[in-house]
Amino acid sequence: MPDSIEAIIQALPYLLEGSLTTAGIVIGAMILGLSFGVPLAVAQAYGGSVTRRLANIYVWFFRGVPVLVLLFLFYFGLFNLIGLNLSAFTSAIIVLGLTSAAYQSQIFRGAIQSLPHGQLKAAKALGMNEFTAITSIILPQALRLSIPGWSNEYSIILKDSAVAFVLGTAEIMARTHFVASRTYEHLPLYMTAAVLYFILTWFGVRALLHLERKVRIPGYAVHQG
Amino acid sequence: MEFAPFLTEQIIPAFNRGLGNSMLLIVPSAIMGVVLGILAGTARAFGGPVLSRLAAWYAALFRGTPLVAQLFIWYFGLPNLGIYLSAYWASVIGFGMCSGAYHSEYIRGGLLSIRRGQLLAAQSLGFSTASTLRSIIIPQAFRRALPGCGNEIIYLIKYSSLAYIITFIELTGEAKILATRYFEFTEVFLVVGAYYLALVSLATWGLRVLERRLHIPGFGRT
Amino acid sequence: GEAPQEKKAEEAAPAAPAQAEAKSYINGIDANFPPFAFVDESGKPSGFDVESVNWIAEKMGFKVTHQPIDWDGIIPALLSNKIDFIASGMSITEERAQKVNFSMPYWIIKQVFVTKADAALSLDDMLKGKKTLGVQRGTSEAEWLKEKAAAEGWNFELRYYDSAPLAVEDVVNGRIDAAAMDDAPAKDATAKKPVKILGTFGMKEEEFGYATRKEDAELLAKLNEGLKLLMADPYWEELQVKYGLK
Amino acid sequence: MPDTTQPVLRIEGISKSLGGKQILDSVSLTLHKGELKVLIGPSGGGKSTLLQCINLLIQPDQGRIWLDSEEVHVSRKRDLYSFRQQVGMIFQDFNLFDHLRAADNVAIALRKVRGWSRRQATERAMAELERVGLADKAELYPAELSGGQKQRVSIARALAMDPKVLLLDEPTSALDPELVGEVLEVIRNLAAGGMTMLMATHQMSFARALAKEILFMEGGRLIEQGSPAKLLAPGAGTRTQSFCTRLWDVSEREHPAAPAGEIGPAGTC
Amino acid sequence: MPDTTQPVLRIEGISKSLGGKQILDSVSLTLHKGELKVLIGPSGGGKSTLLQCINLLIQPDQGRIWLDSEEVHVSRKRDLYSFRQQVGMIFQDFNLFDHLRAADNVAIALRKVRGWSRRQATERAMAELERVGLADKAELYPAELSGGQKQRVSIARALAMDPKVLLLDEPTSALDPELVGEVLEVIRNLAAGGMTMLMATHQMSFARALAKEILFMEGGRLIEQGSPAKLLAPGAGTRTQSFCTRLWDVSEREHPAAPAGEIGPAGTC
Ligand SMILES: Nc1ncnc2c1ncn2[C@@H]1O[C@H](COP(=O)(O)OP(=O)(O)OP(=O)(O)O)[C@@H](O)[C@H]1O
Ligand SMILES: Nc1ncnc2c1ncn2[C@@H]1O[C@H](COP(=O)(O)OP(=O)(O)OP(=O)(O)O)[C@@H](O)[C@H]1O
Ligand SMILES: [Mg+2]
Ligand SMILES: [Mg+2]
């Protein structure tokens, strides 16, 4: 298949450039998702009935509506309406980040709720207010337990960022389409894209696995693997 | 274009047809995903060196590559090996395998939160490793992983739309056909959005009921 | 829609401050539609439409950049001022004409069937021989085949693809017997894959035009005038030869 | 020594139902400054629930609580937090923070609640661990500690906050006799220093040795209270007395010939 | 009564390091049929670690174990599981299965390990709960039980499996005097029925009342062993003796005038 190999070599710099766009979107969206996801999870686990309901609605909406539709609604609709002239790249980060927050909140909530109640009690008994108890006792443990789920979310956004092409941000996948349409080397090019994604995922997941091991609490869990 | 007749004559019939097809995809692949996820997640945490390595590679491979690429390989790639899957089966297998990889990670997260004491107690009663996992560890880990697994099920509902790329026309496929034909993007996508929202709401509700039924006093809700 | 254009203008021509007054426009293209629009080896937009527009821009004294954008999002992007026009092998249809204005037609396109190079099937076999046909979903040929089949009692099965090249892929795989597509990309395909053009199948010919926003009469006028000049120029022939359209 | 004129903590009419069962039934008690009262009673009688209600870790269904004659209202968050800072608690099942080493378990509240610097807090934490004989285990996580070590960390954690009132839920259940002696000594010193304490325990020797008053709790009510001498006097005919002599019977039967002085009110009584 | 000719469980040279520290240092002991030995010693001495090593829940670094003169090999999974079925264990911190109600905590091993039907297993579980006075708590989850109730469920869970040998890690630490008496009675009956037991405890009355032999463990070694009468005799000069008299001192000081017979070897000794 010399043709396909030539096509791949030809396309590689172009695709690599796209992976920078992809990485930018992912990092932005993960950070945004984390900073919204944690408060959402806390609201769901410990909030009063109103906060909890609001958080539930947020999660329901952002998990319920396809990202593609959200991109359309925000980029062509809302942002235009309020005169917010954001680039496609920034818009993609915002929409993907807000969406990811909904998913991330469920991961954190699961972790928060797997901690026995006694520790929160102990924290309160020492006079900690809810905020301190949650930030210094609950979250440090819950976030540790969330790392595997978080790595899922990372690898999902990494690939979901491809939908951002409806706004015109040409990341890895869109670029792959372009080259494939021109050269008719679909399979080899998709394989190349898959390998690129795989490498990006692999690095991220490895880093998170490393983090997971590093912050593991000695003697705590059954599972040390 | 008038919206009302467009809605009732074009959108709704097409979407209802698509919805049926979507369900045919989602339900079997969700089940396959959960089962694979529990197996792979457990294997990663407790399988010996070989099994855990294998499971880790499975998870890395299927999480590491885009679902579209996986679908392409199941559908357009396997014919190179003389294996011809129908669009439907290529989709179900593709979704199930991918979903399982994600579930496995949530399950592993759940396993991390189980204290050693639970394992010790079971083993002291003579449980074999397999039955310790089956009766004691996994039931607890699954409960704790459930919110995460819920994410994956909802992703699956939404990703089921990718099946149109390998020619299995479900809800999104019908929507794209209508939208590109009539250029009524807003209308069509609002309606398709409503359909997905309904599906996801159903799933969210089901998951919440499940979570509540599986709730253990002393954990979770205060 | 002024602001983004100005920004683009600076990006496109930072070295030409004297020309700062020249209007600058963004052309949205479907980069999956060779030879009309695609991305070349160096990652730059290229193709028959792209080069035509470049020529027109130069003649009419405006600046242009080409923005690849998903076909699904291309009209919304136009309507919400993210791009200014679409010169990318867009067929002039009634539905589209309700949303956007079209320039004069500049190309006539025929729909053809593409089959395996060694297939020995006739057009009639395709329509009435219980065959499986692939189309790009959302295209006019897809719609036409579906409606005609119902009306004429043709008995083929339609399969919908994300793009025409993918349908060609499955022709090669043998999953479908033929792909229905525009003749220009079909020609492109025969050059690169073991497939052949079986011929047209009775669909009315279509015309391509450039699309602009309804309210943007100024740009439409410029495009129309530019097209007229281009089609009268020998460069028009040259382009057709370059992109294998002749 | 104890100044009994000034009630430090007072609760009145605390009731609580859980899972449809009445666990606490209108419990009232008063603790004066420097006083140590001991709460005893059968398993499941409601001792732990009562202690947690006093601290408002469990929301009582009914009842009122005063600290230094100020009533505590749950609704005023500020008040609640400062109340809890002044009322220390040692839990029956320790509830150590799993993600923190022993020293940090003790130091964290000093830093986050009292606002001490990390160094100051760690110094104090080390001093407290020293006091319970755990200086060399400061770097271990809860999962790496033995039962008795966990219990001692939880004692150190409560003491580090210098509370006014201390609620102790079986603080010596996992300790060996030597340590029981040491902890007893610590408690005695605290009492001498004016600390007010309420301790649930099964180890009656405590009650005898230290308490001014014993509260006997059964079925969610305080059914008897009085000085150890009164309630435990042989032949007093109290429920407390009969509760505490059960073990004696058992030992007696096994070694009928053993001198009473040696086996005596054996075990926990 | 005890048949001392036949060793049921024998361990030899068990050593274990954790976190770079030698926790167990070549521990050997033999249990004969129907025998009850008591393991005492200071907190952190290695008692819990030893018990868990015997059951192979912690993998010893060195040492061998025999049950009924058959050596136990970890590598043969089958053997290991059947060994553990025959050696019951009651944990210091209970380790109840969090997701199961009290009755299911007891029943689950009967169903999944012994293969009993759900009905049979539940019946047996209820009988065991009845024995420890918890019939009315069968439907509660561990988090809804009091400390003493949890401990009793863990006792019931171990007993339901009819083990040959029982390892008890402070089985009465959370129990009130009445229940201690009852559990003691249960243990006595088990011993009479030929059950072989090794019990770590801080409650010396147990040792006195029941044990044939006391093993004193400190720093990971068995440093003294012998009959209670021998080790605890006043003025025996043993480490055991001094270990157990610490509490005495404390009580003594408080009530210097109290008759020795009443306060006696108070509290835990
Ligand atoms: N959430 C709950 N639902 C139902 N019953 C509960 C719940 N929490 C506690 N209980 C019951 O309340 C009773 C009192 O428990 P508590 O822990 O206060 O007892 P205690 O006196 O401390 O006993 P112990 O001496 O065994 O520690 C117990 O019978 C327990 O089963
Ligand atoms: N994973 C570990 N890493 C380091 N040290 C450990 C670990 N696990 C246990 N230890 C130490 O081993 C020692 C023995 O613990 P063990 O639980 O056997 O004591 P114990 O005799 O049962 O004490 P107690 O009477 O307090 O229950 C303790 O000092 C403990 O800190
Ligand atoms: Mg209690
Ligand atoms: Mg221990």
Whether the pLDDT of residue A107 is over 50: the answer is: yes
Q: For chain E, what percentages of helix, strand and coil (3-state, to nearest 5) are there?
A: 40, 25, 35
First vs last C-alpha separation in chain B: 53
Ligand 2 centroid–CA B120 distance in Å is 16
Q: How far is CA B125 from CA C109, D129, E173, E197, in A?
A: 78, 36, 21, 16
pLDDT of residue D236: 76
Which ligand has the minimum distance to the alpha carbon of residue E268?
A: 2
Domains of chain B with CATH codes:
1-212 (1.10.3720.10)
Whether the pLDDT of residue C78 is over 80: the answer is: yes
pLDDT of residue B221: 67
Residues C86-100 pLDDT 10s: 999 898 988 788 889
C189 in Cβ contact with C167 (< 8 Å): no
User: Omega of the bond prior to C35 within 30 degrees of 0, cis?
Assistant: yes
**Contact E143/B at CB under 8 A:** yes
Structure pTM? Answer: 0.87
Higher pLDDT: D191 or C105? It is C105
User: Rounded to an integer, what distance in angstroms lies between the CA atom of residue A173 and that of residue A93?
Assistant: 16
**Contact C71/B at CB under 8 A:** yes
Q: Which residue has the tokens 């201690």?
A: E180
Whether the pLDDT of residue A168 is over 90: the answer is: no
Give residue A203's pLDDT band: very low, low, confident or very high (50, 70, 90).
Answer: very high
The Cα of A194 is separated from the nearest Cα of chain B by a number of Å equal to: 5
Tell me the one-letter amino acid at E194. Answer: G
The Cα of A61 is separated from the nearest Cα of chain C by a number of Å equal to: 22
User: Rounded to an integer, what distance in angstroms lies between the CA atom of residue B182 and that of residue B175?
Assistant: 11
The Cα of E125 is separated from the nearest Cα of chain B by a number of Å equal to: 14
User: Rounded to an integer, what distance in angstroms lies between the CA atom of residue C91 and that of residue A32?
Assistant: 41
Q: Which residue has the tokens 């992703």?
A: B155
- What token pair was written down for C184? 């220009």
For residue D140, which atom of ligand 2 is closest to its CA?
4
Average per-residue pLDDT in chain B?
Answer: 88
pLDDT of residue B183: 61
Residue A179 lies in a domain: no
Residue E137 lies in a domain: no
Spatial CA neighbour of D263 closest among D253, D252, C168: D252
pLDDT of residue D126: 97
D119 in Cβ contact with A135 (< 8 Å): no
Whether residue B176 and residue C75 make contact (CB cut-off 8 A), yes or no, is: no
Whether the pLDDT of residue C14 is over 70: the answer is: no
pLDDT of residue C11: 41
Residue D135 lies in a domain: no
Residue A68 lies in a domain: yes
Domain carrying residue E30? 9-96+173-267
User: Which of A32-36, B102-106, B136-140, C172-176 has the least mean pLDDT?
Assistant: C172-176
Whether the pLDDT of residue C4 is over 60: the answer is: no
Residue D198 lies in a domain: yes
Residue A122 lies in a domain: yes
Q: For chain C, what percentages of helix, strand and coil (3-state, to nearest 5) are there?
A: 45, 25, 30
Q: Which residues of C touch A180 (CB under 8 A)?
A: 32, 165
Q: Determine the angle formed by the axes of helices B185-213 and B12-46, rounding to 10 degrees.
A: 40
D13 φ/ψ angles, rounded to the nearest 5 degrees: 60, 40
pLDDT of residue D260: 33
**Which residue's C-alpha comes closest to atom 3 of ligand 1?**
D19
Going residue by residue through chain D, which has 269 residues, state the pLDDT in tens, using 9 for 90 and above.
Answer: 444 567 999 999 999 999 899 999 999 999 999 899 999 999 999 999 999 999 999 999 999 999 998 999 988 888 999 999 999 999 999 999 999 999 999 999 999 999 999 999 999 999 999 999 999 999 999 999 999 999 999 999 999 999 999 999 999 888 888 888 888 888 888 888 889 999 998 887 777 778 889 999 999 999 999 888 888 777 777 788 788 776 544 443 444 333 333 333 333 34
Whether the pLDDT of residue C186 is over 70: the answer is: yes
Ligand 4 centroid–CA C139 distance in Å is 75
| Binding partners of A (≥3 Cβ pairs within 8 A) | B, C, D, E
Average per-residue pLDDT in chain C?
Answer: 85
Residue D208 lies in a domain: yes
**What ipTM was estimated for this complex?**
0.85
**Which residue's C-alpha comes closest to atom 6 of ligand 2?**
D144
Three-state secondary-structure class, residue C210 = coil
CATH number of A131's domain: 1.10.3720.10
Residues B187-218 pLDDT 10s: 777 788 888 889 999 999 999 999 999 999 88
pLDDT of residue A2: 66
- What token pair was written down for E56? 């192979």
Q: Which residues of A touch E98 (CB under 8 A)?
A: 116
B161 φ/ψ angles, rounded to the nearest 5 degrees: -65, -20
Give residue B184's pLDDT band: very low, low, confident or very high (50, 70, 90).
Answer: low
Nearest to E93 among B117, B126, B127 (CB): B117
Nearest to D57 among A124, A144, A219 (CB): A124
H/E segment holding residue C111: strand C111-116
For residue E176, which atom of ligand 1 is closest to its CA?
25
Q: Ligand 1, residues D15, D16, D17, D18: which to mutate, most atoms within 8 A of Cβ? A: D18
pLDDT of residue A41: 96
E4 in Cβ contact with E36 (< 8 Å): no
Average per-residue pLDDT in chain E?
Answer: 86
Residue D146 lies in a domain: no
Residues E140-166 pLDDT 10s: 999 999 999 999 999 999 999 999 999
Which ligand has the minimum distance to the alpha carbon of residue D39?
A: 1
Three-state secondary-structure class, residue E198 = strand
Pairing state between β D36-40 and D213-218: parallel
Ligand 3 centroid–CA D216 distance in Å is 14
CATH number of E26's domain: 3.40.50.300
Confirm or reject: Cβ of D44 under 6 Å from ligand 1.
yes
C226 in Cβ contact with C85 (< 8 Å): no
Whether the pLDDT of residue E28 is over 90: the answer is: yes
Interface A-B, measured as beta-carbon pairs within 8 A, has a size of 180
| Cα-to-chain-centroid distance, residue E165 | 10
Whether the pLDDT of residue E252 is over 80: the answer is: no
Residue D206 lies in a domain: yes
Mean pLDDT along residues A183-211: 88
With a pLDDT cut of 70, the percent of chain E lying above it is 89
Tell me the one-letter amino acid at C28. Answer: G
User: Rounded to an integer, what distance in angstroms lies between the CA atom of residue B189 and that of residue A47?
Assistant: 34
Whether residue D264 and residue E269 make contact (CB cut-off 8 A), yes or no, is: no
Higher pLDDT: C15 or B130? It is B130
User: Rounded to an integer, what distance in angstroms lies between the CA atom of residue C19 and that of residue E132?
Assistant: 95
Residue E135 lies in a domain: no
Whether residue B218 and residue E143 make contact (CB cut-off 8 A), yes or no, is: yes
For residue E23, which atom of ligand 2 is closest to its CA?
12
For residue E50, which atom of ligand 2 is closest to its CA?
18
Nearest to D202 among E175, E246, E261 (CB): E175
pLDDT of residue D53: 95
Q: What is the largest CA-CA distance in chain A?
A: 71
Ligand 2 pocket, CB under 6 A: A 219; D 137, 140, 144-149, 174, 176; E 18-19, 21, 23, 43-49, 92
Higher pLDDT: B171 or B35? It is B35
The answer for D14, left when phi > 0, alpha when psi is -120 to 50, beta otherwise, is beta
- Count of domains forming chain D: 1
Whether residue C134 and residue B167 make contact (CB cut-off 8 A), yes or no, is: yes
Q: Which residue has the tokens 């099964």?
A: D202
User: Which of A149-153, C203-207, D203-207 has the least mean pLDDT?
Assistant: D203-207
Whether the pLDDT of residue E38 is over 80: the answer is: yes
User: Rounded to an integer, what distance in angstroms lies between the CA atom of residue E82 and that of residue B200?
Assistant: 48
User: Rounded to an integer, what distance in angstroms lies between the CA atom of residue C188 and that of residue C50?
Assistant: 17
- Count of domains forming chain A: 1
Whether residue A218 and residue E19 make contact (CB cut-off 8 A), yes or no, is: yes
E55 in Cβ contact with B124 (< 8 Å): yes
Whether the pLDDT of residue A222 is over 90: the answer is: no
∠ CA D206-D212-D216, rounded to 5°: 70
Three-state secondary-structure class, residue A14 = helix
pLDDT of residue C21: 63
Spatial CA neighbour of D163 closest among D214, D198, D200: D198
With a pLDDT cut of 70, the percent of chain B lying above it is 95
Whether residue B76 and residue A187 make contact (CB cut-off 8 A), yes or no, is: yes
Residue A79 lies in a domain: yes
Q: Ligand 2, residues E16, E21, E198: which to mutate, most atoms within 8 A of Cβ? A: E21
Domain carrying residue A127? 20-170
Mean pLDDT along residues E43-57: 94
Q: Which of the 8 DSSP states describes residue B122?
A: H
Residue E190 lies in a domain: yes
Ligand 4 centroid–CA D150 distance in Å is 10
Interface D-E, measured as beta-carbon pairs within 8 A, has a size of 202
- What token pair was written down for B61? 């491979």
H/E segment holding residue D197: strand D196-200
The Cα of A120 is separated from the nearest Cα of chain B by a number of Å equal to: 10
Ligand 1 centroid–CA D56 distance in Å is 16
- What token pair was written down for B101? 């990889």
Spatial CA neighbour of B155 closest among A19, A37, A159, A164: A159
Q: Determine the angle formed by the axes of helices A88-112 and B87-112, rounding to 10 degrees.
A: 50
Spatial CA neighbour of B21 closest among B149, B181, B177, B147: B177
Residues A23-34 pLDDT 10s: 999 999 999 999
D72 in Cβ contact with D65 (< 8 Å): yes
Whether the pLDDT of residue E1 is over 80: the answer is: no
**Which residue's C-alpha comes closest to atom 27 of ligand 1?**
E147
Whether the pLDDT of residue B177 is over 60: the answer is: yes
Q: How far is CA D117 from CA A129, C17, D85, D123, in A?
A: 19, 59, 18, 10
Residues C118-176 pLDDT 10s: 888 888 888 888 889 999 877 778 888 888 888 888 888 888 887 788 888 889 888 89
